[in-house]
Each structure stands twice: as C-alpha cells, then as structure tokens.
Amino acid sequence: MIPNSIQNRGTPKTRAVDVTSGDPASARSVFVTAAFASALYLMLPGCEGVPTEGERRAQQNLQTIAAVYRPQHQRPPLPQLQSSDSLSTFLQFAILNQPRVEAAYYDWAATVRRITVARSLPDPEFRFEMDISGIVSSVMPGAMAEFPGFGKLEAAANVVTAESQAKYFVFESSVLQAAFAVKKAYYQQHFLDARIAINQQTLRLLANLEKVARAQHEAGKATLQDVLRVQIEHDRIVTTISNLKDSRNVLLAQFKAALGLKEADPTPPVPAKFESTPLDVTSDRLMAFALARNPRLKSMEAEVHRADAEIRVAQKAQVPDISAGIKADAITWPFIFRPELRVTLPVWRDKIKAQIEGAEAGKRAAAARLSAEEIALVVEFVEKLYLVREAGRNLALFNERLLPKSRQSLEVAQSAYVGGQLEFVNVIDAQRSLLDFSLSAVEARVQRELALAELSLLILGTPPAGAPVLPSDAADRTRGNP
C-alpha cells in the first residue's frame, strides 16, 4: 500500500472557492489575474515590429517631402506676392497653398503609414475564463497571439508599398497640374492685355481714318458713307474692347483659384514680366524622357507592381496561420498551465485558386491600362509638339511677312484714297486685315506658350524649381522589393 502522502505528492491542490468569503485562494486568484493583466498592459504596448526595406524608403521619402511641403503638419510661410515677382514665386505659392495638392499629399502620407499596419502582427489578446457552478471552481487568465503564415505580412506590406508609390505620383501630378493652372491663367492674362492693346491701336487708327474721310467729304471727293463706315468700325471695336476688359474678371478669378485662394481673399497681382517656358522642342530625347518620367505613367506602373504583390499575397493563402497562447489556473497551487495552439487548415483549394487567378487578372488589367496610357501619351505628345511647331511657324509668318505687308498695304490704300485713286472700302478692308493678322499673331503666341507649358509640366513631368517632389531615381526606389 502506498501512503497517502506519497499518492498526493506532486498533485495540485484544487478546491472550490467562494469569492465572497475572503478565502486566501480567492484573494490569490484575484491578485494573480490582476498582476497578469497589468503586466501585459505595461509590456506589450512597447513592442515594435521590424520595418521592411520598402517601408523604410517610403518613410524616408515622406520625411523629405514633409520637411519642405508640410513641416510639423503646418503650411510653411507663403511668399508675399508682388507684381514684380517672378513667375516661379507664384508657382511656389500655388503649390504650397492649393488644396488639391494638399489632399493628394495626405493621401500619400496615409498610405505610407498603412505599410506599418500591413506588416505588423495582429494584436495579442488577453483572455480570462472562470468555471462557476454556484461557486468559483477555476479562474484562468491567459494570453493568445496570432502569427500569420511565413511571408504573409511581408507580402501584404509590399502591396501597400506599391500603392503608396502610386499615391506619390498622384501627388506629383497634382503639383504639376497646379503649376500648369497658374501658367495657363498667367499667359491668358498677358495675351488678353495684348488683345486690348491691339484693339486700342486700331481705335487710334480709325480716328485718323475718320479725319481723312471727313476731309475728303468736305472737299467733295467722298460721300458721307465713308465717314459712316469708319464710325461703324469704331463702334464695333469699342464694344470688343469692353468685352475683353470684362473678361479680365473671369481670368483673374481663374488665376486666383489656381493660386488656391478663396473668394474672401484679396485679388492677387499678376506678374508684370512675361516669362516663356524654356523647352528645346527639337530634341530627339523628349519622347523617351516623357515615357520615363511622366507621373501618370509612373503611377500606373506602380499599380502593376501592386497587382504583382497581390498575386504573392494570394499565393500565401496556402500557408497556414498559427495562434498560440497560454492560460493559468489561479486557484490551484501550484498553478496549472494550459498551453493552446491553433493552426488554420487552408483546405479550400478552389478558393485559393480563385484568389490567385483573380490577382493575376488584376495584374493583366493594370498592365493593359499602362500600355493604353503609354499609347495615349505618345499621341498627346505628338499633338502638343505639333501645336508648338505650328504656332511657331504661324507666329513667324505673321511677324515676319504678313504684318509688315499688311501695314504697308494700309498705308498704300490710305494714300491712294486721299489721291482719289481708291474707294474707302478698300481702306477699311486693309485696316481689318491688319487687325486680324495682329490678333492672329497673339493667338499663335497663346497656343505656343500653353502647348509648351503642357509639354513641360504634364507630359514630360518636369517640376518647377523648388517644387516639393522627389528626384526621379528616389521616386523610382520608393517601391522597394515587392
């Protein structure tokens, strides 16, 4: 026979506890549970995961842009705009102040922060169980942690990393679009003033012609009809000038909006000095540069990498997830520990196959959109380059040939009219030709400058000086290694 002392040796002493009785075992269980929960609360929030290479690069790039664009999440001081300032000062103002640029920036920043979330382990759980049957028979505090299958977190992080790269290029596109909006309104303002000046010169010319027509009429060499023709033309030009001046309010509103100013803000000045967009349109490397640097293409390229990373996430669905934990019975002495292990069983092969094939289809769609955008960019590039060259040829035609000949033709017609060799209608026709050619020359300049600005900013993706964008090689490395 084995003595009871030997039989009971090593066997935990377990008994029911009345938690209202002040029993020492009850107090111990409460103390152990509270201590266990407090330890988890104090220790676990200090844990940090290991960032991926793409995450580190994305955060570094975000810090680089934030230091210039939104230091401490605050807009840096804006320059005080003066009409004597250069166009670059206005571009800088617009980029820092335009709400659309700010929205795109924070969309990108939010996606960069999501990389950390995607690669982090799920939060551990504190668990507490009690067996109660009239009285408490067991008190079990514990902890449980989930561990996704090997490579799943990295694959998920790579998806968000590629998404953050796409969002960055959306931000860069918004910077370029803000600059283009300012340039467009700026050029239209300057050429509006040129149109008004041309029409005012025409008014002065008509005033001289009216004097000539009246003199001819008084001398009996012409009829009153010649004077009326001049007055009709004069009234038409006066109305045109009024319409042009009235349209200045529209262009000022567009310029104000391009700078990101609200309706209550004072109307900004317009740069007094005219600045053209420097661009060598004869370079054979422009198309290659556009395909390599255009932010719309870079964003779509990042979407292809994102789709590729999603394929890897889908493939990782075949890897089981593990959950592990431990519980301790706080009533028994010595404590009874209960380890717990859970493993998912990815047995639904048709589901996994569908996930992989869906991700592969998404990649093919992203690649097709990228190809379509490349084709569209080539067409757009050729169209804008044609507009620049066409406008240049037209401008040279007007300035070098048509305008000088038109001025000469008007002088000849006016002299012939005074000499009674030509009817006044020919003088008016010559005057209208000079006005039309002058305005056409202005239109050619508008077309050329807008096409140059669009080529440089929106197609070639060339940022203005001081713009808060990454160098081309740094932006390309944002993707990491999905």
Give 397-417 pLDDT, tens digit per residue. Answer: 999 999 999 999 999 999 998
> Which residues have C-beta within 8 Å of that of residue 279, sequence separation ≥ 6?
452, 455, 456, 460
- Could you identify the residue written with the tokens 């000095």? 273
Q: Which of 472, 465, 474, 467 is nearest to 86 (CA)?
A: 465
Question: Which pair of tokens denotes residue 137?
Answer: 């028979």
pLDDT at 141: 81
- Residue 248 — very low, low, confident or very high, per pLDDT cuts 50/70/90? very high
Q: Are 224 and 172 in contact (CB under 8 A)?
A: no
Model confidence, pTM:
0.84
Task: Please state the three-class secondary structure of 72-111 as a single string.
Answer: HHCCCCCCCCCCCCCHHHHHHHHHHHCHHHHHHHHHHHHH
* 26-68+83-479 CATH fold: Outer membrane efflux proteins (OEP) (1.20.1600)
- Could you identify the residue written with the tokens 């023709």? 229
pLDDT at 5: 44
pLDDT at 237: 94
Q: What are the boundaries of each domain within the chain? A: 26-68+83-479
Whether the predicted pLDDT of 475 surpasses 70: no
Please give the distance of CA 358 from its chain centroid, rounded to a whole number.
Answer: 28
- Residue 77 — very low, low, confident or very high, per pLDDT cuts 50/70/90? very high
Whether the predicted pLDDT of 88 surpasses 80: yes
pLDDT at 282: 80
Mean pLDDT of 204-209: 91
- Which tens digit of pLDDT belongs to each residue from 380-398? 999 999 999 999 999 999 9
- Residue 7 — very low, low, confident or very high, per pLDDT cuts 50/70/90? very low
- Residue 434 — very low, low, confident or very high, per pLDDT cuts 50/70/90? very high
- Which tens digit of pLDDT belongs to each residue from 316-367? 999 999 988 888 777 777 777 888 888 989 989 999 999 999 999 999 999 9
Mean pLDDT of 53-74: 94
Residue 30: CB atoms within 10 Å:
13
- Residue 157 — very low, low, confident or very high, per pLDDT cuts 50/70/90? very high
- Which tens digit of pLDDT belongs to each residue from 8-56? 444 455 444 454 445 555 555 555 566 555 555 555 555 777 888 999 9
Q: Distance between CA atoms of 216 and 210, rounded to whole angstroms?
A: 10
Sort residue 73 into left (φ over 0), alpha (ψ -120 to 50) or beta.
left
Residue 273: CB atoms within 10 Å:
10
